[in-house]
Structure 1
Amino acid sequence: MSAPITIEASASRPAALWADLKDLAGSDARLFAFAKLAAWVLVPLTLAVVAVVFGTGPEPRRNWYGDMLGNDFSQIWVAGRAALEGRGGEPYDLPVHLANLKAAFGPDCRFAWHYPPVFLMPAAAFASLEPQPAFWLWTALSLAVFAGAMRFAAGRGDAAWIALAHPLVFCNLTYGQNGLFTAALLTFGTLLVDRRPWLAGLCFGLLAYKPHFAALAPLLLLITGRRACLASCLATVLGLCGASLALFGTAPWLGFLGTLGETNRIILENAAAGLELNASAFGAVRLLGGPIAAAWALQALVAALALAVAIRAWTRPAAPALRAAALLTAAPLLSPYLPVYDLVPLVPATLLLVLTAQSAGGLRRHERALLLATPLFALLREGAGLTGFPLGLMLGLATLACIADRIQTLGFSRRRPSALA
């Protein structure tokens, strides 16, 4: 008598699970509760994996994967050590830089240094420590600054906690990259632009270490006539450039300017970091086997679209959160070189989009779909490599589309009463 009941119960389980998933996808409250529960598992797990697997290893300066301790952070440490010892021009001399990397971390540590000399200042500060404590301090500071930015953006701790569980945060921590600092500075800048323009300009100016991300904010400040913020931004950039000249001399700047063409060849034409790493429109075409001319054409189209959305958000009446989300999403999409870890500004952009949706009556179906799809992007680079599909670009465009839709709808709702009147 028990067999029919067991079979019937087993048959009903998929239907019950499907009904539960549909309910989850259709309820903001349930989705938020599920995200909080998942974050309580994922955030501690992320920190544990980064600390144990990537922050320690069986031998000095190697993690448990056998890679360089801190992965990409290894070259930040090497470049910083050269600058600290009065050899600030060496990171821009590729053969010398590769020899320095080999001496510090082994022959498989091969990175080209493309950052402007202003980044040698924080690099030198971290290089005053040994690689392991330097990597731990780098990780702790980047996570703390990013968490503070998310708390500031959300105005509540639980939403910021959920943001920390995003796969792109884990991606940055495992690479030892600076994307969390970039996303935090953009977030603080965009949200403070009207309340504290000088402080916002300082945040934008500090992004001078990543010029392709830093360019959009000054353009929007210029277009919208925010002179105080723009002046602060430019003064910060000039101050950083002057400080790097005073500390390291002219050699780094001459080396940086002299290698710009080589940087383009290494990163874009040769795709030395791997086609699957570049999540830009340019990278998507190259990943799919398209020619460089087609890659530049699509990149120009996507950049123009992203710029149009950002300008519309900043020149039309829009909630500060939505305006900030537009900048955060557009800034990465403008660059032809967009490593997957540099997609992390999409995390605060999504957070701000959700906050805007809640204040406007709730999430829409496509916005909920974007949130539900987030776990699928946990392995962006590996997924792109295995499938040949540009997952990173799709995530960026989907986020941009949701923000553009919100901007359009809110703009229409503000115009509608006068039209009916």
Structure 2
Amino acid sequence: MRAPSTIHDLLRSAGDDLAGLIASDERLLRFARLAALVIVPLTLAIAFVVLGTGPEPGRNWLGDILGFDFTQVWLAGRRALDGRGGEPYDLAVHLENLKAVFGPDCRYSWHYPPFVLLPAAAMALLPYQAAFLLWTLFSVGLFTLALSLAARRTDAVLIGLAHPLVFCNLSYGQNGLVTASLLTLGALLVDRRPWLSGLCFGLIAYKPQLAALAPLLLLVTGRRQALLASVLTVAALCLASIAAFGWAPWHGFLETLTQTNRILLQQGGGGLEINASAFGAVRLAGGPMAAAWTIQIAVSLAAIGIAVRTWRTCADPNLRAAALLAASPMISPYVPLYDLAPIVPATLLLVMAARRTGALKPHERWLLIAAPATALLRPAMAATGISFGLMIGLATLACVAARALPRSAGHAPLRWTRAGSA
């Protein structure tokens, strides 16, 4: 009869601990710090050692391909260096090339604009494993820089690095951390260093669906220098790619635009359970294409409206940056889970705003407590047919909007101590 009592005690203790985290900013912060001190070294160790090396060339210690999605970046770069930059846009040829180098289980389609061949070719100058490890180090380093600029606190940066979406990007070899970093840097530097801000925004053009909102916000708020820098950056990238690799990649890219729509949206080629957009949520639940597009357009317009109003009316630059970061993934019909990475600095900026103006609100604490659940998003979405990724993305945007737009008062101060002194 002791086992039920023990289980009951454990559940009651867990419930008390959760209630304490919900009720107290200080307890939530202490818990997050302790968790980060364990999770960050473990994440980096797994990413660089277990997933980044292995006894077989091109395979990690689990027997999987090193970097999964990074394979085609490196291979596209190799083809560009060999004067065959148009090959990645021929799906049949691209799949055969992947199979020849990485084996038959490596099957990914290439949808990036041709100027992505510039960094891809630079990476392809190295052997694959060295290139993958360098890309991983670069992603973590740039993301750390962006979090540092957002928070200016060591403990806050560590907490951000502990987020499961960081590990998600590192394990896939994806570029979500770079996208989130450039969005964060661009948004935070827009008034102090407009030309550098525009450069950051322009570099995100490799993911047009995530880059589209920033120029609109620059336009409607009259930030002409940053907007001009963004446009010039994209133009320079396009011209550089033509000079380096000729017109063939651009011809192939334009021909694959309809193919991209068919593979990713109509057929759900990446997996319905990985798409965290409103469009993906409807398709995951079994809804028709017309309903998916209708709801996606409604969500996109709402996200754009929140971001535009925040940038026009909110005096806090951190909340403006958070609005851009939280809204950018929501306007796209295709948001793989790793591309939700901008919600990590968005949440951090939201917490920093709470630090300056008052305590976290209950719904903001719930958002922070739910963050670890993103580690289970893909299997949970596949098992239930419910887009929990979209829910977390919309919840982040809603929390930012609630604080950035009409304000409320009456909260006790949020008393953060320096890292290591709690």
Q: Structure 2 length as normaliser, TM-score?
A: 0.94
Deviation at 1:10, TM superposition (A): 8.2
Deviation at 1:16, TM superposition (A): 4.3
Deviation at 1:204, TM superposition (A): 0.4
Separation in structure 1 between the aligned mates of residue 156 and residue 409 of structure 2, nearest angstrom: 28
2:175: which partner in 1?
Answer: 178
1:284 paired with 2:284, answer no
My pick for the range that moved more, 22-31 or 34-43, is 22-31
1:342 paired with 2:339, answer yes
2:375: which partner in 1?
Answer: 378
1:21 paired with 2:18, answer yes
Counterpart pick for 2:230 among 230, 233, 246? 233
Separation in structure 2 between the aligned mates of residue 17 and residue 249 of structure 1, nearest angstrom: 61
2:103: which partner in 1?
Answer: 106
Sequence identity (%): 61
Q: What letter is aligned with 1:155?
A: R
Structure 2: which 5+ runs fail to align?
A: 411-422
In 1, are the aligned partners of 2:314 and 2:405 still within 8 Å (CA)? no
Q: What letter is aligned with 2:325?
A: L
For the residue of structure 2 that corresponds to 1:276, the secondary structure is helix
2:81: which partner in 1?
Answer: 84
Structure 1: which 5+ runs fail to align?
A: 414-421
Q: Structure 1 length as normaliser, TM-score?
A: 0.94
In 2, are the aligned partners of 1:325 and 1:403 still within 8 Å (CA)? yes
For the residue of structure 2 that corresponds to 1:113, the secondary structure is coil
1:266: which partner in 2?
Answer: 263
Which of the pair has more CA radius of gyration? Answer: 1
Deviation at 1:408, TM superposition (A): 2.6
Equivalent residues in 2 for 1:189-200 (5 A)? 189-200=186-197
Q: What letter is aligned with 1:385?
A: A
Q: What letter is aligned with 2:114?
A: P
1:314 paired with 2:321, answer no
1:162 paired with 2:150, answer no
Counterpart pick for 2:252 among 252, 255, 260? 255
Deviation at 1:13, TM superposition (A): 5.5
> Superposition RMSD on alpha carbons, in Å?
1.9
| Distance verdict in 2 for CA 1:112–1:359, change over 3 Å | same
Separation in structure 2 between the aligned mates of residue 54 and residue 19 of structure 1, nearest angstrom: 37
CA-to-aligned-CA distance 1:115-140 (integer Å, 9 cap, x gap)? 00111101111111111111000000
| Distance verdict in 2 for CA 1:95–1:27, change over 3 Å | same
In 2, are the aligned partners of 1:191 and 1:320 still within 8 Å (CA)? yes
Count of residue pairs the alignment pairs up? 410
Separation in structure 2 between the aligned mates of residue 276 and residue 86 of structure 1, nearest angstrom: 37
CA-to-aligned-CA distance 1:315-339 (integer Å, 9 cap, x gap)? 1133000000000011111110100
In 1, are the aligned partners of 2:218 and 2:226 still within 8 Å (CA)? yes
In 2, are the aligned partners of 1:318 and 1:410 still within 8 Å (CA)? no
1:75 paired with 2:72, answer yes
Deviation at 1:379, TM superposition (A): 2.1
Separation in structure 2 between the aligned mates of residue 106 and residue 303 of structure 1, nearest angstrom: 39
For the residue of structure 1 that corresponds to 2:274, the secondary structure is coil
In 2, are the aligned partners of 1:186 and 1:203 still within 8 Å (CA)? yes
